[in-house]
Amino acid sequence: MVTEFKVGHWYRWTGPKERPHRWNSYGEMDFMLDGKPHRCEVSDGYFAQLSVPLSRTWFWESGIEYIVECNPTDQLELDFQL
């Protein structure tokens, strides 16, 4: 679990494939549910903009227990295991 986001670091979702109840109800945060590494572009504690096209800065406190810091190569390892 992360305690804050840091610019330039990579993060991925490790939890259930359903959106936490306090996330954006239009699904605009759901990209994180893919479990792939996402780079932090902007950060202010739990507020972070992660590297996806047209991403906005979101408050990630709800579900933060499922977000872990990772390496951008983690997805290659996950793909290989499949």
- pLDDT single digits (tens) 18-69: 999 899 999 999 999 999 999 999 999 889 999 876 668 899 999 999 999 9
**Number of domain units in the chain:** 1
Between 74 and 81, name the one with better pLDDT.
74
Q: Is residue 4 part of a domain?
A: no
Between 66 and 81, name the one with better pLDDT.
66
Section 72-81 average pLDDT: 63
Q: What local confidence, expressed as pLDDT, does residue 54 receive? A: 62
Range of the domain at 23: 10-81
Q: Is residue 1 part of a domain?
A: no
Cβ atoms within 10 A of the Cβ of 55, count? 17
Q: What local confidence, expressed as pLDDT, does residue 14 receive? A: 95
Q: Is residue 42 part of a domain?
A: yes
